[in-house]
């Protein structure tokens, strides 16, 4: 297997940054009460999901190459308890998780992609561990967006291409001729 080229660390960082931005833009559309509201008794609030994502990222990405991704100091069950005094405390927790991701990705060398790490005693290649983390994060970001969209109701501001605006977006992005597949 060929080692990954150095730009892949930056590509992974861009994918994580996109997910972070989506979650933050969604959560920003909620007032403080909505941020802590669960849709029903079996659901988590946006604040709780953000706390869990931050805890997972902090655990997985702290000492990424040298210690098990499930740290002894992590209290996963506590991540599902809304204990935040205010939005700033939530955002500080959120940033701590993301700081661990970006610092670790920034420090990876090309040769690190050939290594294995351990998560809960399971050996994983570095690319697989990164993919798993990105997948887990994206799953929860989707929850954050959907819950936020539901709670914001008619005040929701779309985060991507607005419904019914795909053709206009593609034309703006590519130009009329390219979008329609015409040759110049």
Domain annotation covers residue 29 = yes
Domain annotation covers residue 184 = no
Domain annotation covers residue 160 = yes
pTM (predicted TM-score): 0.88
pLDDT in tens, 99-155: 999 999 999 998 999 999 999 999 999 999 999 999 999 999 999 999 999 999 999
CATH number, domain containing residue 68: 1.20.120.450
Phi, psi of 75 (to 5 degrees): -115, 85
Q: How many domains does the chain have?
A: 1
pLDDT in tens, 64-107: 999 999 999 999 999 999 999 999 999 999 999 999 999 999 99
Question: What range defines the domain where residue 130 resides?
Answer: 7-179
Residues near 177 by beta carbon (within 8 Å), at least 6 away in sequence: 183, 184
Domain annotation covers residue 58 = yes
């Amino acid at each position: 297997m060929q080692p990954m080229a150095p730009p892949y660390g930056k590509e992974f960082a861009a994918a994580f940054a996109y997910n972070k931005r989506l979650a933050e833009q969604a959560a920003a559309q909620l007032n403080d009460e909505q941020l802590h509201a669960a849709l029903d008794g079996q659901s988590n609030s946006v604040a709780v999901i953000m706390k869990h994502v931050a805890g997972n990222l902090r655990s997985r990405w702290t000492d990424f190459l040298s210690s098990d991704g499930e740290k002894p100091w992590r209290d996963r069950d506590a991540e599902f308890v809304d204990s935040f005094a205010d939005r700033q405390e939530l955002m500080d927790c959120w940033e701590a998780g993301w700081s661990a991701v970006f610092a670790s990705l920034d420090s990876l060398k090309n040769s690190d992609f050939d290594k294995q790490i351990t998560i809960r005693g399971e050996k994983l290649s570095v690319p697989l561990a990164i993919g798993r983390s990105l997948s887990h994060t994206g799953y929860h970001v989707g929850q954050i967006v959907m819950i936020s969209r539901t709670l914001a109701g008619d005040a929701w501001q779309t985060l991507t291409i607005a419904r019914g605006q795909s053709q206009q977006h593609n034309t703006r992005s590519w130009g009329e001729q390219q979008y329609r597949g015409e040759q110049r």
